[in-house]
Amino acid sequence: MTTHTDRHENAAARYLEAWNATGPEAVAKAVAAAWTVDGGYTDPLADVRGHDGIAAVITAAHAQFPGFVFRPLGPVDGHHDTARFAWELVNEADGSAPVAGFDVVTLDDEGRIRQVLGFLDRVPPSP
């Protein structure tokens, strides 16, 4: 049974805002708004803690996929201090979405992210 709240939805929205921010200052500001100071991010390709580490992962994704944006896939599901949501990485020019996954986030009492556990469901083939 889900007890989804605005808290879960707001956390997911801030998370996607951080991933879609461009430029070092905007990324740093968005990461600070979404994560706790000691927050973490772990997926099959990265395992970092703190705002600088998270910002570096986001910046690297932008470098690898220029012109792409992260978009939600379906609703946010949550209960207690945990939320999960699916997303895809979309090419703004042609609408293709070569990468998709879902994330499970743990929130603090103020709704900021303590930890992200990311899973990749669709990735482009290796060259």
Instruction: Please check the confidence at residue 43 and state whether its pLDDT lies above 80.
Output: yes
Whether 48 contacts 40, CB under 8 Å: yes
- pLDDT at residue 68 is higher than 80: yes
CB-based contact 63:84 (threshold 8 Å) = no
| Average predicted confidence (pLDDT) for the chain | 94
User: Given this model, what pLDDT does residue 124 score?
Assistant: 85
**Predicted local distance difference test score (pLDDT) of residue 1:** 46
Residue 2 has a pLDDT of 52
> Which residues of 13-112 form beta strands (DSSP E)?
35-43, 46-49, 68-79, 82-91, 99-107
φ/ψ of 89, rounded to 5, equals: -100, 115
- Site of tokens 């580490």: 53
What pLDDT digit, counting tens, does each position of 77-113 carry? 999 999 999 999 999 999 999 999 999 999 999 999 9
